[in-house]
Amino acid sequence: MVRKVIIIGSGPAGYTAALYTARANLKPLMIDGGVGKGQEQLGAGGQLMITTDVENYPGFPHGIQGPELMQAMREQVLRFGTEVIEDMVTQVDLSRRPYKVWVGDTLYEARVIIIATGASAKWLGLPEERPVWEGGLGGAGISACATCDGFFFRGKPIAVVGGGDTAMEEAIYLTNHASKVSVIHRRDTLRASKIMQERAFKNPKIEFIWDSVVERIHDPAQKRVTGLTLRNIRTDQRTEFAVEGLFVAIGHKPNTDLFVGQLELDPNGYIVTTHDVRTSVYGVFAAGDVQDHEYRQAVTAAGSGCMAAIQAERLLEAEGDTDLLETPTNW
């Protein structure tokens, strides 16, 4: 069976695309876990599943928890008949229509694809970040999710690496649990927005370590974080710094490995789009953080999901029952 629309990924972009296509009676299929191929995955809901207070999404004057917002979106798309597969896409073929999408050995086909695979957290690239069962400290004191793991560090000193909004949000949240939060940043100024900087600077439990990078995380032999080796990039001086947890908040990588060679990507790996959400392949749209390297907000992701859905509806309506049209010259 060739479906009209398959949505790869969820989050605000994917859920909004599903909502609009479902209400347009396009009977969308959503594969909510995003893509595979070894990338770090957050599963259904994307980045907001590791976000605490969402204060800038319209309609919630007192804020809302990220996971709560994603659950509400999920319930809404299910109400309108979206079919959801709780798994990850492992392969795609966008060379001709109908487009092919595999989940393991199971093949699905569609006339239109909407990609909403989002982005994944970046790591420092240190061997200690490997999972604890591989001899590292991942899951045993190293995390990229304060919401998920902050509770385990009650009354303990911890560090956050990064200088953007995400790092400040993580640090502020972690002060609810940790005895002290040390923000380690490789520059002498923050990249975070002014309001987030002000909140962090005013918090008495947050201190800043400037011009420094983490060179080593101790101690895999004890299967827990006991400290860090820091290097000042200006003086090249190394110091030992005692902490019991490390949270990495240095940015994200778009989840586009699956589409290399099939869609046009920019030098940073984001999907290149025109007319806001059209990819380089006819009938394939991209929405949210997988193509947005500038705003990266829940509300802009939702907006682009809406645009992708409306453009998909118009494309299918214009085609009628002719499934395999040649790519128009004005795409």
Q: Do 256 and 290 form a contact (C-beta atoms < 8 A)?
A: yes
Q: Do 286 and 271 form a contact (C-beta atoms < 8 A)?
A: yes
Annotated active-site residue 148? The verdict is yes
Annotated catalytic residue, options 145, 165, 219, 276 = 145
- 62/60 Cα distance (integer angstroms): 5
Residues in the chain: 331
Annotated active-site residue 145? The verdict is yes
Annotated catalytic residue, options 53, 87, 105, 148 = 148
Task: Locate the DSSP E strands across 157-248.
Answer: 157-161, 180-184, 206-209, 212-218, 227-232, 238-241, 246-248
Q: Do 228 and 241 form a contact (C-beta atoms < 8 A)?
A: yes
Residue 330 is which amino acid?
N
Q: Is 65 exposed, middle or buried (0-12, 13-18, 19+ CB in 10 A)?
A: middle
- 153/144 Cα distance (integer angstroms): 14
Q: Is 75 exposed, middle or buried (0-12, 13-18, 19+ CB in 10 A)?
A: exposed
Annotated catalytic residue, options 149, 289, 292, 306 = 149
Residue 100 is which amino acid?
K
The bridge status of strand 29-31 relative to strand 53-54 is unpaired
Q: Is 288 exposed, middle or buried (0-12, 13-18, 19+ CB in 10 A)?
A: buried
* Catalytically annotated residues: 145, 148-149
